[in-house]
Amino acid sequence: MKLELGNIYIKDIQFTEGEAKIDDHILYVNKEAAAAAALGEEEHLASVSFDIAKPGESVRITPVKDVIEPRVKVEGRGGIFPGVIAKVDTVGSGKTYCLKGMAVVTAGKIVGFQEGVIDMSGEGAKYTPFSQTLNLVMVCTPVEGLKQHEYEAAVRFAGFRLATYIGELARDLTPDDTKVYETYGIMEGKEKFPNLPRVAYVQMLQSQGLLHDTYVYGVDAKKTLSTIMNPTETMDGAIVSGNCVSACDKNPTYVHENNPVIADLFEEHGKTINFVCQILTNENVYLADKMRSSDWTAKLCRLLDLDGIILSQEGFGNPDTDLIMNCKKIEAEGVKTVIITDEYAGRDGKSQSLADADVAADAVVTGGNANQVVILPKLDKVIGTMDYITKIAGASEETLRADGTLEVELQVLTGATNETGFNKLSAR
C-alpha cells in the first residue's frame, strides 16, 4: 500500500468577512461559514465561537479536548476520518494533502476532569508541542442539561467536521513538498528485504470507557480484538481520539495523524528494518479483557514471524497492566520488545513509576515524569475558561496563586509526556 502525503505549510491564520481560502500560505477563515460547517445538524451544541492562538503570544487555551490537523484526500479510496466523517472505506493509499504548522483545537466547558492546557508562551509552552502550531480554536457551548457523554460526542464530531472543512480548502493547491510511504504484503516484503529484521508497531489504544475511548474506522476500540492495520491508514485519520485521559499523555487526533513512531519506522524501512505493519490492541478495564487482548497481540506477533516490535501505551495506572502483559507475552514468543511509556513517580521522582512491572520490560523509553511540578505564569488572554483549573488532573485547590500564577504538575499540559514521543522533553 502506497500513500503520498503532500504538505502545505500554513504561515498564518486570519479571520475574514469574505470567502474562506488558503492564499499564499495564509488560511483565511470566515467565522459564520466555519460555524455552519462545524455544527451541521448538531442538536447538542448551543453555539461555537472561534479564536486564533499563535506561537509566542501571551495566550492560554483551556480546557482542551482535542487537537486535529486538517487533511484532505485528493486521490485514492475513501476520505479523511473514515467511519466518522467519510464513509467506511479502506484508506491509506493514493494522495492526501496535509495543512502543516496549524491545528484545529476544541475547547469549552469541561467534559471530564482530565482535560488540559496549551500555553502559547512562558514556562508551559516549553512542554506542550502545540505551543508551536498556529491554532484555530473552537470554543463549544453545550445546550442546557446535556449529559457528559453526549457533550463529548458533540464536541468530537464538531471538531472533525471543522477540520474536514478546513482541509477541503487545500484540495486544489500544489503541495510544498511530498513524501511517499509504502509497505508491502507479508510475502512480498519478505522477498524484497530478506536480510532485514521484521519489525512492527504495536499501539495500545485508550479504551477504558467513561469518556476514555478511541475510535478505529468509527468503531469504539474497546469493542475490538487486536488486529493488523497498514500504518498509512492512520495518516488518513483511521484512528481518532474520543477520550479525556490525562492531558499530558493523551493522544489527540493530531498525534494519531502524525504518529512519530510510525514516521521513525518508515525512515528506517528498507534500510535497517522491514516495517511489516501496525498492530492495534486496546486497554480495557477488566482482567479477562486484558488477558484476551494481550494473548491476541502476542499471537499476531508470532504469526507474522516478527523479530522485534515497538509498543506504546496511552494513559497510566490501569493501562500499565496491559502494557506489561503485552510486553511479557510478546517477549515470551521470542520477539524483542521496546516499550514507550511515561512515569508517575511522584513530585520528588522517588515513587514507583508504573503500576506494574516485569523483568521482560528491560528496554524502556520514557516520556518523562507527569508529576513534575511547574509554575505557569499569568497570561494576558484565556481562550475557553479557567473555571475548572483547580479541578483538572495535575492541579489542586492550591493551584491558583494570589499573583495569578499556576502551580501544576505536567499532567495538565497537553502532550507534555506523550507516550508516542510526540512531546518536547528529552534527557541529556
pLDDT digits (tens, 9 = 90+) for 258-298: 999 999 999 999 999 999 999 999 999 999 999 999 999 99
Q: Which pLDDT belongs to residue 114?
A: 79
Asked whether residue 420 is domain-assigned, the answer is: no
The residues near 135 (Cβ < 8 Å, ≥ 6 apart) are: 52, 53, 54, 61, 67, 102, 103, 104, 105, 118, 120
Stated as kind and residue range, the H or E segment containing 182 is: strand 177-182
Q: What is the mean pLDDT of residues 397-423?
A: 95
pLDDT digits (tens, 9 = 90+) for 198-230: 999 999 999 998 888 999 999 999 999 999 999
CB 206 within 8 A of CB 249: no
CB 253 within 8 A of CB 65: no
Asked whether residue 288 is domain-assigned, the answer is: yes
Residue 82 has which C-alpha cell? 473514515
Kindly name the residue from 98, 140, 244, 327 that is annotated as catalytic.
Answer: 244
Task: Provide the residue type at 335 as one letter.
Answer: V
Question: In terms of pTM, does the model score above 0.85?
Answer: yes
Number of separate domains in the chain: 1
Q: What is the mean pLDDT of residues 108-131?
A: 92
Q: Count Cα neighbours of 407 within 13 Å in the Cβ-side half-sphere.
A: 9
Q: What is the DSSP letter of 24?
A: T
Angle subtended by helix axes 148-168 and 31-39, to nearest 10 = 130
244 included as an active-site residue: yes
Task: Show the CA angle centred on residue 171, arms to residues 157 and 34, nearest 5°.
Answer: 40
pLDDT band at 362 (very low <50, low <70, confident <90, very high): very high
Q: Which domain holds residue 92?
A: 2-412
The residues near 35 (Cβ < 8 Å, ≥ 6 apart) are: 47, 48, 49, 50
The residues near 414 (Cβ < 8 Å, ≥ 6 apart) are: 64, 67, 116, 117, 118, 128, 130, 247, 248, 250, 252
pLDDT digits (tens, 9 = 90+) for 74-94: 999 999 999 999 999 999 999
pLDDT at residue 192 above 90?
yes
Nearest partner of 283 among 256, 258, 255, 315, judged by Cα:
315
The residues near 115 (Cβ < 8 Å, ≥ 6 apart) are: 62, 63, 64, 65, 244, 247, 388, 392
Q: What is the mean pLDDT of residues 112-121?
A: 89
Supply the mean pLDDT for the chain.
95
Nearest partner of 302 among 200, 224, 222, judged by Cα:
200
Q: Which pLDDT belongs to residue 30?
A: 98
Asked whether residue 422 is domain-assigned, the answer is: no
pLDDT band at 184 (very low <50, low <70, confident <90, very high): very high
Q: What is the mean pLDDT of residues 124-151?
A: 95
| Alpha helices (H) along 260-314 | 260-268, 287-303
Work out the percent of the chain whose per-residue pLDDT is above 90.
Answer: 92
- Return the C-alpha torsion angle 50, 55, 56, 58, nearest 10: 20
Q: Which pLDDT belongs to residue 245?
A: 80
Q: Which pLDDT belongs to residue 313?
A: 96
Asked whether residue 371 is domain-assigned, the answer is: yes
pLDDT at residue 176 above 90?
yes
Q: What is the mean pLDDT of residues 50-79?
A: 97
Higher pLDDT, residue 343 or 112:
343
CB 163 within 8 A of CB 47: no
Asked whether residue 421 is domain-assigned, the answer is: no
Length of the chain: 428
Q: Which pLDDT belongs to residue 205?
A: 96
CA–CA separation, 2 vs 183, rounded Å?
A: 7
Torsions phi, psi of 387, nearest 5? -55, -25
